[in-house]
Amino acid sequence: MKDYIDYYFSMMDKASAKLPQQSIMLSYEELIENPIAARAAIAQLCGLPVPTGPLPAIGDDRGCAEPYRAAMAAALSMPPDAALL
């Protein structure tokens, strides 16, 4: 799974570099921290006027994986076949 995620981010970086006028990179954290700026960036990318109305309430679940961090780190350090046992 980690290899797929690394590959995905690598492809996103390459697509963004090759098509800078047609792409935007926004992290989940950026969206949560400043949804107004994220909405403006997306509107500008699409050539649309930047909306000024209120935003819907969105949740903030950053940090929700914190209790699982040690287990994930241990699983990632296991040999690939050990997870199948």
The DSSP output letter for 81 is G
Joined tokens for residue 77: 């350090």
Biggest alpha carbon–alpha carbon distance for the chain: 55
Q: Which of 14-23, 48-57, 70-79 is the least confident region?
A: 70-79
Name the pTM for this structure: 0.63
Q: What is the pLDDT of residues 54-80, one digit of tens each?
A: 988 888 888 888 888 888 888 888 766
